[in-house]
Structure 1
Amino acid sequence: MRHVTLVQLFDHPITQKYVKRSGMAHAVACAYHAFRLSQKYEVDPDLATKAAFLHDIGHYTWYRDGKWDYALYKENDIHAIKGSERAHKLLIRLGEHPRTAKEIALAILLHTDSYLPDGYLKLNPLQHVVAMADSLDEEPGGEHHYRKISDERARKMLIRLDDQINSIMNPEEMKRSI
């Protein structure tokens, strides 16, 4: 049994504040990409979709003179670090199994290497799926963070994705997800 659903995450005020700020349409699209990729790479779809949905929860808005400054963001951002901590705390508050929350938090931490000084990361399959899901939805200059989606549409899409995850996770897979 899944402990926390995507809709429960969506409905939480922390998610509404921080994921909306970084782009709800991007988060939902990444969750769908992660679902598809999880099947291809034999990764737990529950973990993959949650991590992809929350991967940008740590974004800070980098503005200069009232305008988004992409260069300032690229130079100073540590959203993966902040997001990992924020997502872990949120998942635990909602009742997620601690091991699952940790795996999701690590996938969020490692979804990008933008904060590392010319580093190379060796990712496990879950982390790789989340990083690919993010890459598949990216647009030049961070424009993917500005696409719009209504709350109603986002919620309906996440309900549908929760249903898809539940339909493919048999009881044995459910046990392995914790």
Structure 2
Amino acid sequence: MRHVTLEQIFQHPIAQKYINRSGMVHAIAVAYHAFRLANEHGLSVDLAVKAGFLHDIGHYTWYRDGKWDYELYKTNDIHAVKGAERAHKLLIRLGEDPRIAKEIALAILFHTDSFLPSRPIELNSLQSIIKQADEMDEEPGGQHHYRTISYDKALKAIQRLDELVDRTLNQREYVNKYEQA
């Protein structure tokens, strides 16, 4: 059973503020990629879509002389750190299971290595697919953060993804019951 749906997250003012800042189209695309990857690997599609959708919630807008400065961003940004904290707090406020909120926050923390020291970190399966899903939607110079979508179209995409998650979870539950019989 899911405690919090993607639609509940999407409609929250904090999510609207920060995900729109970092690119709603990108967030939705990454959530869909994460769904597919999690489903293929037998991982939690619920955790994957939430982490995929929230992965850039920690972005800050890096400007110099009134223009977005991608190099300033690449050099100084720690959005994964801020995003993990912000997503965790949001999920807890919405009533998410604290263990699930922590797993999602850790996947967000490790979705990029831009803030990490040069030594590699071993990622768990969820963290790995969120990183991969994000990379699948990237465009040069961070342009993936600037695609736009109307609120209504975004909401429909989110509702469709919630339906896919529910259907997948129900199918897995049915298969598990059938196998145990």
Q: TM-score, length-normalised on structure 2?
A: 0.93
The equivalent of 1:16 in structure 2 is 16
The equivalent of 2:145 in structure 1 is 145
1:113 aligns with 2:119: no
Give the deviation of 1:50 after TM superposition: 0.1
Distance 2:29 2:47 in 1: 15
Measured against aligned partners, the alpha-carbon deviations of 1:75-115 in whole angstroms (never above 9, x if no partner) come to 10000000000000000000000000000000000000000
Alignment RMSD (CA, Å): 1.1
Tell which structure's C-alpha radius of gyration is larger.
2
The equivalent of 1:25 in structure 2 is 25
The equivalent of 1:176 in structure 2 is none
The equivalent of 1:42 in structure 2 is 42
- SS of the equivalent of 1:147 reads coil
1:77 aligns with 2:77: yes
- SS of the equivalent of 1:169 reads helix
The equivalent of 1:131 in structure 2 is 131
Distance 2:161 2:47 in 1: 13
- Give 2:77's aligned amino acid: D
- SS of the equivalent of 2:119 reads coil
Unaligned runs of 5+ in 1: 174-178
Give the deviation of 1:172 after TM superposition: 7.2
1:113, 1:119 within 8 Å by CA — same for their partners in 2?
A: no
> Percent of counterpart pairs with the same letter?
66
Q: TM-score, length-normalised on structure 1?
A: 0.95
Give the deviation of 1:170 after TM superposition: 3.1
How many pairs does the alignment contain? 173
Measured against aligned partners, the alpha-carbon deviations of 1:32-59 in whole angstroms (never above 9, x if no partner) come to 0000000112210000000000000000
Give the deviation of 1:117 after TM superposition: 2.4
Unaligned runs of 5+ in 2: 174-181
